[in-house]
Amino acid sequence: MQIPWFSSTENSLIKSGRPFVKMHGLLNDFVIIDGRKEPYRPSTKEIIHICDRHEGIGADELLIVEPPKHSKPYAFVRIINPDGREVEACGNASRCIGWLLLKECNQKEIQIETLGGILTCTLVGEKQVSCEMGKVKTHWQDIPLSQEMDTLHLNIGTGPLNDPVGMNIGNPHAVFFVEDLDAVDLPKYGKALQTNPLFPEEANIGVAQLIDSETLKLSVWERPGTLTTACGTGACVAVAAAHRRGLTQKKRMTVIMPAGSVEIELKEENIAVMTGPVEICYTGYLV
């Protein structure tokens, strides 16, 4: 397979712009741009345009690969939401960019640096990647919350969603457990919970149903305000939240989301490892 940072051998009508790769992980899609040799610092207006599904390429996030800031990681990756806000982590994005860079360097394992920390990505199948996403944090200041509170039982809620678990794995999450996920109209309640004053940086809102001791069903309302087909960090914290609540003792669980499933393993010190699929959609050039 040719390295996806395609060269002049790639067929295209336009070759004068900056090349990009469009990928998705469980339909959570990304525009990926290599900014290592030629730095790329788009304006907020440009980011919004690129991610717009009508006027631009369309993406849940823009990923920019940059030189590493420390000696050990292979690259630094900026993760930018479609509103132009840079975020610390994204599980599906980590798998996609991990696969791309693993193919580029022809290695089985590499480390990638993000605002949220250093991730270890391992190729476990042709288009299957495991990412060690780091430690799931539970202290109220690490989430962060606007006031001290027991993060195992956050005092917020609306409609059928109450008593969530608060966590952070590079980005803030609140996980609600329900008996019947299909009966929950998450778009009706997601925005109000996401922007609750308890979350000074807002929060991703997960709603989880325990199917059995090894399986969770999950839906996530994601910052800046969308119901996502899949959320890798959301899957990690949902499993960790189930453990904290005593709903399961299993260290490895399958998390089923609207677009498919990922495997989550909790290791020592609450470190989460996520394994799931990636796909290349197409390549092109920014003009």
> What is the DSSP track for 90-138?
-HHHHHHHHHHHHHHHT-SEEEEEETTEEEEEEEEETTEEEEEEEEPB-
Residue 16 has what pLDDT?
59
Residue 287 has what pLDDT?
82
Residues of the chain with CATH 3.10.310.10: 18-134+276-286, 135-272
Q: How many CB atoms lie within 10 A of CB 272?
A: 23
The yes or no reply on domain 135-272 and CATH 3.40.50.300 is no
Task: Name the residue with tokens 């499993």.
Answer: 239
In 223-259, where do the E strands start and end?
Answer: 226-228, 252-257
Q: Is residue 99 a contact partner of residue 127, using CB atoms and an 8 Å limit?
A: yes
Q: Which helix (H) or strand (E) holds 273?
A: strand 271-277
Q: Which residues of the chain have pLDDT under 70?
A: 1-16
Just list the catalytic residues. Answer: 90, 231
> Which of 201, 202, 233, 230 has the alpha carbon at shortest distance from 218?
230
Q: Which helix (H) or strand (E) holds 210?
A: strand 204-212
Q: Which CATH number fits domain 18-134+276-286: 3.10.310.10, 3.40.50.300, 3.40.50.620, 3.80.10.10?
A: 3.10.310.10
pTM here is 0.91
Residue 10 has what pLDDT?
45
Name the amino acid, one letter, at 207: V
Q: Which two tokens stand for residue 121?
A: 């990505």
Q: What is the DSSP letter of 144?
A: T
CA–CA gap between residue 232 and residue 263 (Å, rounded): 10
Q: Is residue 88 a contact partner of residue 170, using CB atoms and an 8 Å limit?
A: yes
Can you tell me whether residue 174 is helix, strand or coil?
Answer: strand
